[in-house]
């Protein structure tokens, strides 16, 4: 089922984002995470994609690129979850590290396995903290990937002869209520989002945000630019100080001052956890009551904290 159809039917929903396991681990813990949420009936599950990364190390005083891909490819993971649990799965798809033809081949694999939704992303630089550079024959911007997805809907392929059936994905893109780290300012970032929507994006999922007012005001602002596709807010409970610092300093995500002060005021981990859950429940209900159709939860782990939230929210 296409995610836009969930939105159109008017029923409130929630969804989950999970990551594929690393290559030296089993898929079983991921299955257990999924099974934990089945009684709560998530609308869909999105699976992150981790493209090729480069670590630069010195070998005999020479700086050498070491290529590594720690996570399993999402195609097999997505298919296993989709057909084991009969649940809608949305693969994340990044154009980083692939040529346009390789993008097409990979998308055809997802289409063959009857996936209906794709979350289209540019991806991060292969080397951390450096400027993003596409490989030769690849895409620089996510809107170019969206254009290719929509061309496939019209049976316009790069590497196939005429006569192939159209490939009709419902396409989601990322929105950044507090701007993407590469954007000059919020206006520059919204203009980039507008390009993705004009290229054919069907809906938006936001980067995680911890302030309902910021999300609501951002949606009003993007509407003034002519962006009229549905927006699904992405959120997560903050349940530890380590988590707070990771999101703030490594992911560059803004943590509201009042929330951070409150979490840091507790001397024991249990109180921090409980307040983080309560804050996320309140945030979820505030957003749903403000007119959002659904909530997208980032698990970033086994999902225990997310379960403590979804079992308390009213959909």
Show the domains of the chain with their CATH numbers.
3-310 (3.20.20.220)
Q: Model confidence at 59, in pLDDT bands (50, 70, 90)?
A: low
Instruction: Specify whether the CB–CB gap between 119 and 18 falls below 8 A.
Output: no
- Three-class secondary structure assignment of the chain: CCHHHHHHCCCCEEEEEECCCECCCCCHHHHHHHHHHHHHCCCCEEECCCCCEEEEEEECCEEEEEEECCECCHHHHHHHHHHHHCCCEEEEEECCCCCHHHHHHHHHHHHHCCCCEEEEECCCCCCCCCCCCCCCCCCCCHHHHHHHHHHHHCCCCCCCCCCCCCCCCEEEEEECCCCCCCCCCHHHHHHHHHHHHHCCCCEEEECCCCCHHHHHHHHHHHHHCCCCCCEECEECCCCCHHHHHHHHHHCCCCCCHHHHHHHHCCCCHHHHHHHHHHHHHHHHHHHHHCCCCEEEEECCCCCHHHHHHHCCCCC
> Region 157-175: what's the mean pLDDT?
86
Q: pLDDT at position 50, please?
A: 75
pLDDT above 70 covers a percentage of the chain that reads 90
> Region 258-286: what's the mean pLDDT?
97
Q: pLDDT at position 107, please?
A: 94
Rg for the chain, CA atoms, rounded: 20
For the ranges 57-61, 144-148, 287-291, the lowest mean pLDDT is seen at 57-61
**Six-digit token pair at 234?**
């992405």
**Six-digit token pair at 246?**
């990771």
Is the Cα dihedral 39, 315, 208, 92 positive or negative? Answer: positive
- Three-class secondary structure assignment of 136-196: CCCCCCHHHHHHHHHHHHCCCCCCCCCCCCCCCCEEEEEECCCCCCCCCCHHHHHHHHHHH
Q: Model confidence at 162, in pLDDT bands (50, 70, 90)?
A: low
pTM metric for this prediction: 0.92
Q: pLDDT at position 128, please?
A: 56
158 versus 225: which is more confidently predicted? 225
Cα separations in angstroms, 201 against 66, 91, 192, 227:
35, 15, 12, 10
195 versus 50: which is more confidently predicted? 195
pLDDT digits (tens, 9 = 90+) for 213-258: 999 999 999 999 999 999 999 999 999 999 999 999 888 899 999 9
Q: Model confidence at 54, in pLDDT bands (50, 70, 90)?
A: low
With CA atoms as reference, report the closest residue to 214 among 189, 233, 229, 227. 233
In the predicted structure, residue 67 carries a pLDDT above the cut 70: no
**Six-digit token pair at 140?**
């620089």
**Six-digit token pair at 271?**
């109180």
Q: pLDDT at position 123, please?
A: 77
In the predicted structure, residue 305 carries a pLDDT above the cut 60: yes
CA 309 to CA 276: how far, in whole Å?
Answer: 10
Q: pLDDT at position 249, please?
A: 87
**Six-digit token pair at 67?**
């290529």
Q: Which residues contact 263 (CB under 8 A, 6 or more apart)?
A: 238, 241, 244, 272, 275, 276
> Region 119-136: what's the mean pLDDT?
73
> Region 123-129: what's the mean pLDDT?
61
- Half-sphere exposure of residue 60: CA atoms within 13 angstroms, side-chain side: 0
> Region 114-142: what's the mean pLDDT?
80
For the ranges 28-32, 65-69, 220-224, 261-265, the lowest mean pLDDT is seen at 65-69
Q: pLDDT at position 49, please?
A: 87
> Region 86-112: what's the mean pLDDT?
92
């Amino acid at each position: 089922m296409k995610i836009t159809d969930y939105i159109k039917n008017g029923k409130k929903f929630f969804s989950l984002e999970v990551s594929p396991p690393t290559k030296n681990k089993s898929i079983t813990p991921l299955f257990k995470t999924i099974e934990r949420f089945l009684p709560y009936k998530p609308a869909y599950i999105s699976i992150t994609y981790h493209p090729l990364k480069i670590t630069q190390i010195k070998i005999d005083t020479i700086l050498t690129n070491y290529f590594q891909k720690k996570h399993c490819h999402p195609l097999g993971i997505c298919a296993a979850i989709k057909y084991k649990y009969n649940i809608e799965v949305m693969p994340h798809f990044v154009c980083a590290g692939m040529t346009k033809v390789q993008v097409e081949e990979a998308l055809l694999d997802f289409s063959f396995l009857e996936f209906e939704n794709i979350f289209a992303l540019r991806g991060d630089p292969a080397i951390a903290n450096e400027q993003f550079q596409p490989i030769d024959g690849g895409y620089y911007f996510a809107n170019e990937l969206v254009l290719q997805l929509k061309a496939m809907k019209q049976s316009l392929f790069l590497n196939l002869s005429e006569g192939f059936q159209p490939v009709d994905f419902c396409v989601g893109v990322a929105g950044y209520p507090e701007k993407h780290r590469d954007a000059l300012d919020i206006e520059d970032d919204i203009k980039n989002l507008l390009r993705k929507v004009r290229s054919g994006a069907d809906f938006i999922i936001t980067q995680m945000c911890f302030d309902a007012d910021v999300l609501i005001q951002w949606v009003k602002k993007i509407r003034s630019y002519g962006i009229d596709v549905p927006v699904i807010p992405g959120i997560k409970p903050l349940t530890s100080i380590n988590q707070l610092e990771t999101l703030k300093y490594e992911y560059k995500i803004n943590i509201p001052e009042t929330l951070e002060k409150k979490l840091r005021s507790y001397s024991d981990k249990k109180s921090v956890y409980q307040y983080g859950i309560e804050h996320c429940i309140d945030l979820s209900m505030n957003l749903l009551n403000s007119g959002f159709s659904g909530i997208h939860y980032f698990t970033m782990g086994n999902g225990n904290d997310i379960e403590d939230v979804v079992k308390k929210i009213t959909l």
